[in-house]
Structure 1
Amino acid sequence: MKKALAYNKDYAFNAICPYYTMFPLEYPLGIINKHRENAPVVLDPFCGRGTTLYAARKLGFKAYGLDTSPIAAAIAQAKLASANIDNVMALAGKLVATTPKEIPSTTFFRRAFSDSTLAELCSLREGLLRARASNEAAILRAAALGCLHGPLPTASGTPSYFSNQMPRTFASKPDYSVRFWEEREILAPRASVLDVLRKKLARISDLDSPSEGRLTNVKCRDARTASSYRHVRKATLTITSPPYYGMRTYVEDQWLRSWFIGGPAEPDYGNDQQLRHTGHDIFITDLAKVWKNVHRSSDAGAHLYIRFGAIPSVKSDPRELLKASLEEAGGWDLVSVRNAKTAAAGKRQADQMGRESKPATEFDFHAIRA
């Protein structure tokens, strides 16, 4: 059985920060390879952690991305950044060496991180919030987000994460986390922020490889809004995966990472920039706005590939929803709809905090700009 690219060290950059609803790198790599003779300009209007952008980078093509989540945009920007590890760590050392102005004192933060780790983490957070945009800062921010929470080490040596026991891909809620740790008498590791970051970055072999994209190719914007695409230069190949109908917890599931990039030190419920999930017709209309904008930003004959599915807890037919959205948008000829492999992303890491979930059913859509 062929080993998944997620476990291949040559692609460790793509795993710089695990994300709860990521699709496998094999999907965009395979599609871009199929179209590589045409030197595609790649677009992902729901870019998430930037897997499509990274696939384009690996194959030497320019890519653009949009996402309403500032966390997703920060991670995706790093996928287009190029910097030497020593320069990234030099910036990290400079920022960590400063004294933080504010350290959260809630029970969650006191149990989630050791005192020394939290102080260093707050110094890094405040420094990155002040830092000018650069390749080094983009990579450092994404690496810190990826190390912010995760499972405790099972052996001696440098931990891989700053936090007490947590999932890698989402942050469990404060009250639940504290109760989990207290019941099991689990203490946070005394982790050196710099040592953890260097361990993360040392695994990435292509950190300083050339990139056809720039940080500004990724925007934290709403894909439903036409003005969000002003930076896109005529895409010829769009590869994306919209939020599945009923998936509305992106914001609160990433609340700790949101704090690190400047948000509140507690979950923030709701996001009016997300696709609306209050009814099938409303959801279809929102998706149609995106496909219309992609159409305007694409060349004639451009290809659109979409991976879309359904979550078990919500009654919906992903094939009907997606087809209806393309029909409402107009300008796209649907070529094929195929079964994708069952998604395990929703299952991954869920048992680390006692949560249970079932994998989604997914389909791959291919359409061509009329």
Structure 2
Amino acid sequence: MFPETFVAEQLAVTSFDGVVFDPFCGRGTTVFESLLRDRDAAGCDVHPVAACVAGAKADAPSRKEVTARLSELEEESAGFEAPAMHGATAEFFELCFHPSTYAEVVFLREHLDWRGDRTDRFIAALSLGSLHGESHRTPNCFSNRMPRTISTKPRYSVRWWRKNELTPPRRDVFEILRRMAEYRFESRPPRRRGRVRLADAREAGARFPSLRGTVTDVITSPPYLDTTNYREDQWLRLWFLGGEATDRLPPHDGRHYSADKYKDFLTEAWAGVAPLLAAEARIVVRMGGRRLTKEAARVTLLESLRDGLPRSVSLVDEGASSRVRGTQANAFRGDKPSDTLEHDFRFDVV
């Protein structure tokens, strides 16, 4: 996760007051932290789960709107019968969700307009957070026992549930969502509202025409090189947002596994952001990867920025490096250090 403290530190030292933009916004930390500090902010991400969660943070409805919509959905769901699952994932869904819980989950999947309605998007984001998790430890997840951070593969999950004789608990989806909404609204939303789009960073300029020439701060973290497949890890949440019930994804294009293709991808991303930049801007990037050295990261970033932006780009300082902490892999490795490094760099653009 992109830490809030990193964004806060960068915002504290900037001399600009224009729009803050994150072209790889993930769960929306840069956008949300900027709004909390009374800065206009926007972002985009190509991953539907990221766009849903970040959009819910950036443009939250009122508590009253969420409560009313949940009551409306619950009333409409009475008597709803979810269609039977077929194919390789049918057994997974039978063991993952209690039949009544499954019906409520499918009803929400079919009726929430998370792309076009901010209240529905907020409820969808709450649902994503509760869709699966450690049900033996918390009453706030819908599923049989699973990790909360990633969606384990269907075949592995079925084998593990059967081996441990685990059955899905009956969970009232609407009760959980009301409880989670109350928790979220214990803190007031930011005064300002942000904009998040489900979009490729390479199309940022075209997707945010009203922001052209207004972005003074880019604070972002591109997908790490040779680290993980975000879509594979989130296949169940992607299904909830309307995707197929499968963890088998099309072959990747290599841009996050080949160093050369990764650099080309970054170049195209900066070119997409270029129309949004103000006359003077600052770009802060945290990037990483397995066995990615600080020097290689610095060269890749500097060259991709200079190739992608029709502007003068200069490195502000020598940057800083650290090991990734709290990864999913480390949860199984114990105290063994991660082999993934993170590198932070700042650039001035004029």
Superposed pair shares fold, TM > 0.5: yes
Aligned pair partner of 1:293 in 256, 272, 294 = 272
Q: Is the 8 A contact 1:240 1:305 kept in 2?
A: yes
Partner of 2:318: 337
- Aligned pairs for 1:257-272 within 5 A: 257-270=237-250
- Aligned pairs for 1:310-321 within 5 A: 310-311=289-290, 317-321=296-300
Aligned pair partner of 1:143 in 122, 126, 134 = 126
Q: When the two structures are aligned, how many residues end up with a matched partner?
A: 338
Q: Which has the higher mean CA deviation after the structures are superposed, 116-125 or 327-336? A: 327-336
Q: RMSD between aligned alpha carbons? A: 2.8
Identity %: 33
Partner of 1:33: 12
Q: Is the 8 A contact 1:148 1:257 kept in 2?
A: yes
Aligned pair partner of 2:93 in 109, 125, 130 = 109
Q: 1:359 to 1:151 in 2, by over 3 A?
A: farther
Runs of 4+, deviation exceeding 6 Å: none
Q: Is the 8 A contact 1:251 1:271 kept in 2?
A: no
Q: Normalising by the residue count of structure 1, what TM-score does the alignment of the two structures yield? A: 0.82
The Cα shift of 1:222 comes to 1.2
Q: Is the 8 A contact 2:96 2:143 kept in 1?
A: yes
Q: 1:53 to 1:73 in 2, by over 3 A?
A: same
Q: 1:190 to 1:211 in 2, by over 3 A?
A: same
Q: 1:142 to 1:185 in 2, by over 3 A?
A: same
Unmatched 5+ stretches in structure 1: 1-21
Q: Deviations over 1:210-264 (max 9, x none)?
A: 44224xx211111123524434342010000001112351111111011111111
Matched, 1:252 2:235: no
Structure 1 SS opposite 2:202: coil
Matched, 1:369 2:349: yes
Q: Is the 8 A contact 2:133 2:148 kept in 1?
A: yes
Unmatched 5+ stretches in structure 2: none
Q: Is the 8 A contact 2:82 2:103 kept in 1?
A: no
- Aligned pairs for 1:80-99 within 5 A: 80-97=58-75, 98=77, 99=80
Matched, 1:153 2:136: yes
Q: 1:143 to 1:277 in 2, by over 3 A?
A: same
Q: Which has the higher mean CA deviation after the structures are superposed, 158-167 or 322-331? A: 322-331
Q: Normalising by the residue count of structure 2, what TM-score does the alignment of the two structures yield? A: 0.87
Q: Is the 8 A contact 2:330 2:337 kept in 1?
A: no
Structure 2 SS opposite 1:336: coil
Q: Deviations over 1:18-40 (max 9, x none)?
A: xxxx21111112212323x6423
Q: 1:195 to 1:268 in 2, by over 3 A?
A: same
Partner of 1:54: 32
Matched, 1:171 2:151: yes
Partner of 1:12: none
Q: Deviations over 1:59-114 (max 9, x none)?
A: 11111111111111111110112333343133123223322553535110110111
Matched, 1:346 2:327: yes
Matched, 1:221 2:199: yes
Matched letter for residue 123 of structure 1: F
